[in-house]
Structures are given as structure tokens and as C-alpha cells.
């Protein structure tokens, strides 16, 4: 048996009717990398973050995540933990909604391997970010919105670099060992509709792979990752061989404000299933 052959049956993470098997936690600041400086807990910002665990509901057979305290984020975590897996789900985010899904997340939710679903200006969908494990950003394109004659968003486009809020640098592209172009991604993406994701996470220092609507979008080998803030053994010790799966509602930081999460915005998730590998 190879390491990527299924070792168990597909498991439904969501019953379509309730949040049984999940629990919510605040989106709290954590060190950028294992062993880094701890956040100052004696601040108004930290205390405000503690008040928010998100507004998580079930609507029309989908998990829906919104901010419960305006401007503050949260996570929804599986009660169970998972190691090497293939995860499938469908997502339908509003614009703008900066969200994502974390694998091998710690009980805090804020530490783990994030599959990006940054459905906002300068965002990326299908790439990766190291939450609390170095802040490594591995993406190949950034997105913006197209607007109709009345100024309403009506589709995604590849971002004009001259207008970016978060530059796409050469090192972000170089981290990936396989990647779709922005144009390839856009041919697959369905605006204002459900989009199907498949994610693989395999290895002690995992290889992470994402497909969106059948298109391979990004692949990252964390065992060979080269970044000054990436400390592989410290990450392996922090996360261990298994962790929670976490859905994210982002906060509105001072840099992006409402461009990161619009007032009343939501992300919707359904058909979440995991297969042990």
C-alpha cells in the first residue's frame, strides 16, 4: 500500500442539518511561527477578539459562517482530528469574504495549513498560507472583481498588479511545485454558485494539493519548503501528525478593513467529507 491509497471509508463531516461534531472558537492572535513572540493579551483588541466565536448556522443544507461581532473573526473546528486525508467539499462565498479551510489545526484554530478561499480583492483561491507556522504564502495569482454597468460585482478577474492591496511576489510563486495560472483557474470557477474542492494532505511534513472544479490549482511540498520563517521540525512538533479541520471567518484588520470581509458577508460550505489516506 502506498501512502496515498485510501485506508478507510469516506466520512461525512457535516450532516446537512446541524453543527453536531463541530465547535466554534475565537480567531485569536498567535505567534507568526513556533517559538515566536507571544501576542500581548492585555490589549483592547485581544479582549475584543475573545468576545467573538462567529455566527455559524445551517441554512438550506449548508454551514454558513458570518461575523458575530462586526470586524471580528472566528473558526469552526471539527471535534475530531485527522492526519493524512483527502477532503472534499463545496463552497459558495460572498464578495468580499476572506475565508479558508485549515488542516491539522491546533485547538486554537489559528495554527495550521490553510487552503485559501480569499474571495476578495488581492485574494487567492486554492493556494496555501501557514497560519501561525511561519506565515508562508504560496500562491500563483491574485484576484479582483468585475463590475456591471451599475457597479455591482458580477465575476472574478485576474488582478491588475498596479491596484493590488497585497502584492504577488516571486517567492510566493516559487514555493509551489505545481500551479494553475489565474486564467486557468477562472475558466473553472463559477461565480455566485457552488464550487467543488478536493484537497490532499499527506506526510509528516505534508504535500498539500488542491483541485477546484477538477482543475489542479496548487501543490506545495512543505518538506522542501525554503523560507526564512519556515522551521519544519518546530512545525511538525507543534501540529503533530493529526489536527482539527477548521473553517474560517476572517476579521477586518486595519490594512484592508471592509475589503477583507464585507458587512453581512458570508461563506457557505456543504458536502464536507474526509477520507483517511
Domain boundaries, the chain: 11-276
Q: Is 60 left (phi over 0), alpha (psi -120 to 50) or beta?
A: left
What mean pLDDT value characterizes the chain? 96
Is the per-residue pLDDT at 158 higher than 60? Answer: yes
Exposure letters 166-202 (e unless 16+ CB within 10 A, then b): bebeeebeebbeebbebebbbebbeeeeebebbbbbb
Give the mean model confidence (pLDDT) for residues 179-207. Answer: 98
Is the per-residue pLDDT at 92 higher than 80? Answer: yes
Is the per-residue pLDDT at 192 higher than 60? Answer: yes
**Percentage of the chain lying above the pLDDT 90 cut:** 96
Is the per-residue pLDDT at 8 higher than 90? Answer: no
Is the per-residue pLDDT at 156 higher than 60? Answer: yes
Report the C-alpha gap between 136 and 235 in whole angstroms: 12
| 1: confidence class by pLDDT, cuts 50, 70, 90 | very low
- Give the architecture-level CATH label for domain 11-276: Sandwich (2.60)
pLDDT for 3: 42
pLDDT for 7: 63
Amino acid at each position: 500500500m502506498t501512502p496515498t491509497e485510501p485506508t478507510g471509508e469516506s466520512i461525512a463531516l457535516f450532516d446537512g442539518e446541524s453543527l453536531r461534531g463541530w465547535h466554534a472558537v475565537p480567531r485569536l492572535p498567535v505567534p507568526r511561527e513556533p517559538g515566536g513572540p507571544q501576542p500581548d493579551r492585555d490589549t483592547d483588541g485581544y479582549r475584543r477578539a475573545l468576545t467573538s466565536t462567529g455566527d455559524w448556522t445551517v441554512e438550506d443544507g449548508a454551514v454558513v459562517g458570518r461575523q458575530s461581532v462586526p470586524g471580528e473573526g472566528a473558526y469552526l473546528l471539527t471535534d475530531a482530528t485527522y492526519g493524512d486525508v483527502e477532503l472534499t467539499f463545496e463552497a459558495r462565498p460572498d464578495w468580499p469574504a476572506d475565508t479558508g479551510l485549515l488542516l491539522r489545526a491546533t485547538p486554537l484554530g489559528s495554527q495550521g495549513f490553510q487552503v485559501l478561499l480569499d474571495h476578495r480583492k488581492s485574494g487567492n483561491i486554492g493556494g496555501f498560507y501557514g497560519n501561525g507556522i511561519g506565515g508562508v504564502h504560496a500562491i500563483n495569482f491574485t484576484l479582483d472583481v468585475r463590475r456591471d454597468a451599475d457597479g455591482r460585482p458580477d465575476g472574478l478577474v485576474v488582478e491588475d498588479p498596479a491596484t493590488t492591496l497585497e502584492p504577488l511576489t516571486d517567492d510566493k510563486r516559487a514555493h509551489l511545485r505545481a500551479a494553475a495560472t489565474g486564467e486557468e483557474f477562472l475558466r473553472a470557477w463559477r461565480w455566485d454558485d457552488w464550487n467543488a474542492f478536493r484537497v490532499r494532505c499527506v506526510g509528516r511534513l505534508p504535500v498539500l494539493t488542491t483541485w477546484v472544479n477538477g482543475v489542479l490549482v496548487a501543490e506545495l511540498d512543505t518538506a522542501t519548503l525554503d523560507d526564512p520563517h519556515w522551521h519544519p521540525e518546530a512545525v511538525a512538533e507543534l501540529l503533530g501528525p493529526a489536527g482539527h479541520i477548521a473553517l474560517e471567518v476572517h476579521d477586518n484588520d486595519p490594512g484592508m478593513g471592509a475589503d477583507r470581509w464585507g458587512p453581512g458577508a458570508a461563506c457557505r460550505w456543504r458536502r464536507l467529507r474526509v477520507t483517511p489516506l
